[in-house]
Amino acid sequence: MTEPLLAIRDVHKAFGANRALAGVTLDLYAGEAHALVGENGAGKSTLMKILSGAHRPDRGSMTLDGDPFVPRNPREARRQGIAMIYQELALAPHLSVEANVMLGQERTARGLVLRREHNQLVRSALRELDHAEIDPQTKVYRLSPGGMQIVEIARALVSNARVVILDEPTSSLSGRDAERLFAVLDRLRGRGLAIVYISHFLEEVERVADRVTVIRDGATVLTGMMESLTTHDIIHAMIGREPEDLFPAIASEPGEVVLETIELAGMILPKRVNLNLRRGEVLGIAGLVGAGRTELLRAIFGLDKVRSGSIKVAGIAASRGLPSDRIAQGIGLLSEDRKNEGLALNLSIEDNLTLTALHRHVRRGILNLKDRRSEASRRLMELNVKAAGPKQAINALSGGNQQKIAFARLLHQDADVLLLDEPTRGIDVGAKAEIYRLIRELARRGKAVLMVSSYLPELLGVCDRLAVMRKGVLGETRPIEAWTEHEIMSQATLESK
């Protein structure tokens, strides 16, 4: 093999007593797509920050094209050809595509911006990415999430980047946009760029990457060609143990129907949904992003308006309702968007955990803070949350622990019917396993769970029954044994027969 374009050798980095990186080694070759996987907290983001110049390594070496590479700040990293595309896109929504691409790399003559050259550069970059349909003058906020990502990649192209690093690029994309993104990445690879692809979705990694590097606890534990490794090998390397117990086999006994929707329709989505949810079961809803699954949960919970149809809770008609009514009826919703909706990030754990059912800690009109704190502490122990204590701010926690707090709020509320929207999005495998166990455990205790997920293995591993939603229409509900991944995908994507 030729010399690597970017070579990272035994890089160490500590923040105080906390060793974030303890020996990461990674070789990146021109023209390859290299997946970087690891649990949250394994050190991926620290490594990215070092590559982008936000942090400097304590020990170890990095070379770019054979020359020592130690960027002192993000500008320098970018100038040397490293382009970072973060999960949360760094675009100015009210500026045009062209202005966003050229931001910070304007071509000027005598202090004036060369508009025509900008336009040509942006057009040719978009053409090269096979997205010539994007008009450079469109305001970025009008684009789909997938289009926005293309703008970021176009920016990297115009800056003559040699290494493009993408952090969880599909987290906000629909299936089709994701496919187009993968095609774009193939093109970049063809042009001799090196791609670092960070993702939690191993299926995606298999689709995109030639090689994979797994890091755990800040060190490289596995590097290899994608085709010579199995999913099992990769998961095993990520979590350092056998993945068999990811989906616990906890049986539950289905009881009476607690939630029923009859021809329920939202303002746009969903369309005329009929479903029955029983105590002691987990009912899964699969489908593509944008199929209306989230809207269904929100309509049931009273967060979105209902156009027509009705809802019965425990056999009693309860069609119109605000979230507060639903909560009183024993329904709880776990939001798909933990950061923007699920949690108030700068409030404490105890504030977040108890917000729905604060009244439980009120004695004679006065909030009993001690009582609230001790209950919050108990919940933290129950869910094995890694936190300093109930007074800690939420934003100091990792994604998995944050999600456990959002879950703990439903438990604190004592919900009988749990509407879970992407309950394991953006959390690591260890925390996922705990959440699966918790969901099964809740079903065993007679709770009813309605779960939306885009991750088919977890739907198949956790649910008792499953239905597929496509363009707002919910298909037939069948026992989980009757489904395969292939069957689900074909129902989700194909026109109904």
Partner 1 sequence: MSTDQVDRGGGSSRGSAADFAFARLWSVLGPLIGLGLITGFFAFLTRDSGTFLQLATWRLIVVQTVVLGIAALGMTLVMISGGIDLAVGSTVALVTVVVTLAVRDLHFPVALAIVAGIALGGLCGFINGSLITLLRVMPFIITLGGLKIYRGGAKWLADNGSVYVPAAAKAPWMSHVLAPDPEPSWLVVAPGVWTLVVFGAIVAFLLRYSILGRRMYAVGSNEATARLCGINVSKLKVLVYTIAGLLTGLAGVMQFLDLGGSGDPTTADGLELQVIASVVIGGGSLSGGEGTAAGTLIGCLLISVLNNGCVHAGIPNASQDVIIGAIIIVAVTLDRLRRAREGV
Among positions 320-339, residues that touch partner 1 (CB under 8 A) are 322-324, 326-328, 333, 335, 337
Is 352 a residue that touches partner 1 (CB under 8 A)?
Answer: yes
CB 440 within 8 A of CB 274: no
Please report how close the Cβ of residue 280 comes to partner 1 at its closest, in angstroms: 23
Residues 6+ apart with CB under 8 A from 366: none
Please report how close the Cβ of residue 383 comes to partner 1 at its closest, in angstroms: 10
Residue 190: Cβ-neighbour burial (10 angstroms; 0-12, 13-18, 19+) = exposed
The encoded tokens of residue 357 equal 């059912």
Sole binder of partner 1 in the list 340, 370, 476, 486 (CB under 8 A): 340
Sole binder of partner 1 in the list 3, 367, 414, 445 (CB under 8 A): 367
Sole binder of partner 1 in the list 94, 391, 445, 478 (CB under 8 A): 391
Size of the site for partner 1 (CB under 8 A): 73
Helix (H) or strand (E) holding 366: strand 366-367
Residue 189 vs 409, nearer CB to partner 1: 409
The encoded tokens of residue 206 equal 């298999």
CB 264 within 8 A of CB 271: no
Rounded Cα distance between 103 and 151, Å, is 11
Please report how close the Cβ of residue 84 comes to partner 1 at its closest, in angstroms: 17
Is 39 a residue that touches partner 1 (CB under 8 A)?
Answer: yes
* x-marked contacts with partner 1 along 286-315 as a string, rule CB under 8 A: -----------------x------------
Residue 113 vs 358, nearer CB to partner 1: 358
Rounded Cα distance between 369 and 349, Å, is 13
Is 424 a residue that touches partner 1 (CB under 8 A)?
Answer: no
Helices (H), 191-277: 202-208, 231-239
Query: Which region among 34-42, 123-131, 254-262, 306-314 touches partner 1 (by CB under 8 A)?
Result: 34-42
Is 362 a residue that touches partner 1 (CB under 8 A)?
Answer: yes
Rounded Cα distance between 342 and 420, Å, is 11
Sole binder of partner 1 in the list 260, 422, 428, 458 (CB under 8 A): 428
Question: Are β-strands 6-15 and 366-367 bridged in parallel, bridged antiparallel, or unpaired?
Answer: unpaired
Closest CA to 89 of 173, 162, 158: 173
Question: Three-state SS for 98?
Answer: helix
Rounded Cα distance between 177 and 199, Å, is 16
Rounded Cα distance between 198 and 195, Å, is 10
Residue 68 vs 365, nearer CB to partner 1: 365
Sole binder of partner 1 in the list 31, 430, 446, 475 (CB under 8 A): 430
Query: Which region among 191-199, 205-213, 216-224, 446-454 touches partner 1 (by CB under 8 A)?
Result: 216-224
Closest CA to 470 of 443, 488, 458, 445: 488
Is 239 a residue that touches partner 1 (CB under 8 A)?
Answer: yes
Residue 20 vs 468, nearer CB to partner 1: 20
Rounded Cα distance between 163 and 426, Å, is 24
Sole binder of partner 1 in the list 388, 478, 479, 482 (CB under 8 A): 388
208 phi/psi in degrees, rounded to 5: -90, -40
Closest CA to 172 of 334, 289, 284, 93: 289
Is 46 a residue that touches partner 1 (CB under 8 A)?
Answer: yes
Counting Cα atoms < 13 Å in the Cβ hemisphere of 174 gives 16
Please report how close the Cβ of residue 495 comes to partner 1 at its closest, in angstroms: 35
Please report how close the Cβ of residue 418 comes to partner 1 at its closest, in angstroms: 13
Sole binder of partner 1 in the list 105, 319, 392, 493 (CB under 8 A): 392
Please report how close the Cβ of residue 20 comes to partner 1 at its closest, in angstroms: 5
Sole binder of partner 1 in the list 355, 473, 480, 489 (CB under 8 A): 355
Positions in 114-173 near partner 1 (CB under 8 A)? none
Is 370 a residue that touches partner 1 (CB under 8 A)?
Answer: no
Sole binder of partner 1 in the list 171, 398, 477, 493 (CB under 8 A): 398
Cβ neighbours around 364 below 10 Å, total: 5
Residue 388: Cβ-neighbour burial (10 angstroms; 0-12, 13-18, 19+) = exposed
Sole binder of partner 1 in the list 393, 473, 480, 489 (CB under 8 A): 393
Is 240 a residue that touches partner 1 (CB under 8 A)?
Answer: yes
Longest dimension (CA), the chain: 77
Sole binder of partner 1 in the list 8, 237, 433, 448 (CB under 8 A): 433
